[in-house]
Amino acid sequence: MTLRVPFDNSYARLPARFFTRIDPMPVTAPRLIRFNHALAADLGITPGSDDEMARIFAGNAVPAGAEPLAQAYAGHQFGGFSPQLGDGRANLLGEAVADGKRFDIQLKGSGPTPYSRMGDGRAWLGPVLREYVLSEAMHALGIPTSRALAAVATGEPVWREQGALPGAVLTRVAASHIRVGTFQFFAARRDVEGLRALYEYTVARHYPEARDPAALLEAVIARQARLVAQWMAVGFIHGVMNTDNTTLSGETIDYGPCAFMDSYHPDTVYSSIDAHGRYAYSSQPDVIVWNMAQLATALVPLMPDAEAAAESFTRIVHAMPGQIRAEWLTLFRRKIGIDSVRDGDEALIGDLLARMAENRADFTNTFRALATGGPARDQFLNPAAFDEWARTWRARLEGEDGGEEGARARMRAANPAFIPRNHRVEQMIAAATEGDFAPFARLVEVLSRPFDDQPGAADLARPPAPSEVVQQTFCGT
């Protein structure tokens, strides 16, 4: 059997300055670690033998119909603008078309490109497995995200500060890899022709209803507002919300130093490169508004009246915090079982979160206990702090549709039992580095059903012991 992908590569038909055509760089001894058969079926991909897929998804062979390229883009990284970034260790093989939708098939860790900026273009095994686990977990949680199609070991070492590490390549699937930074790339060069071509391409691919750049901005903001609210509702911290990691499609992308919170605190930061907490958990709504302001700035040259456009775009961006708050309230109401809307709901939710922060309550397990009727109070250093809040909460639930049973059903659908806990991810990576992929396979399987009770996986729902706490997560470059 030969691997077949239904390629139709529209991005490769854009002007040459959008990318550099380059083949992936072959590796010594590719070996398939995992192939996502369910995702492949959804994309209309016919799998081949393990050996063939190892060669293709490591970059040793180019599948029929692919047109490999590295995309150009710019971006604000921690607030500082870089006019030239681009795919420094990624290669877009092309686009699979399924059910009338396009999906990018991209290799990560496939060798250097003209955009590598002195990097080696490679990835080591840890970040590849981390992204596979976390992106698939996010998909199972119902949050828009890139997906993992395959992970391949290269048989070559990758050199990092820790020394020689096993190399790997991830195959990533995304609705597209068009970023805020892609628009910034052309705007920074005052390339209005290129900017207009990108705008028209983005509208055709993602927002056919958008009649002009203002409508595109509004549509992207709506998706990003919901996306960040969804992150907040599961305790996810992206860790590197640069404009080059903010997609126009509204998907989560780039699982570098990301993490899910254990004990709740709004100022939680894990990323080792976020020294000042720019991308802390509670800062994410502010950051995405700032990123959308950068998109608005990049779109202004497409408007006939720049001054009027700036005023209009400013109003659109300034409305975004209210949109995020509305999405956040909707999701957190469900997390505590509320279906109707009352004025005091935000204060009720805020009171719970404040008590959780003060008492180091586990974010996931506290809300899951509310859903299952378990001892949520046991998550608190001072259980009385929960009891005080719970009296007001139970009074609020009176009269809700379906009574307590309806509230529990809403909460079970909103509050996962399982998330990719940082210590389990790190343990999984350590095991895989030694050649044991069983913990990786187990995480992928359990996290594919995050809302189900899985008694045999109770250890994966347990918060870390003090000796297991992960203080920092690291970028894979």
Rg (alpha carbons) of the chain, rounded to whole number: 23
Q: Which residues are CB-contacts of 207 (< 8 A; sequence separation ≥ 6)?
A: 215, 216, 219, 220
Enter the tokens of residue 279: 């991308």
Bridge pairing between strands 163-174 and 123-124: antiparallel
Active site residue: 87, 104, 244, 254, which one? 244
Tell me whether residue 452 is one of the annotated catalytic residues.
no
Angle between helices 422-433 and 438-447 (to 10 degrees): 150
CB atoms closer than 10 angstroms to residue 466 = 5
Q: What is the DSSP track for 126-178?
A: HHHHHHHHHHHHHHHTT--B-EEEEEEEEEEEEEETTEEEEEEEEEEEES---
| C-alpha torsion 293→472→118→241, nearest 10 | -10
Query: Cα 110–76–108 angle (5° rounding)?
Result: 10
Which of 405, 323, 414 is CA-nearest to residue 364? 414
CB 285 within 8 A of CB 321: yes
Cα 33 to Cα 125: distance, rounded to the nearest angstrom: 10
Cα 262 to Cα 346: distance, rounded to the nearest angstrom: 23
Active site residues: 244
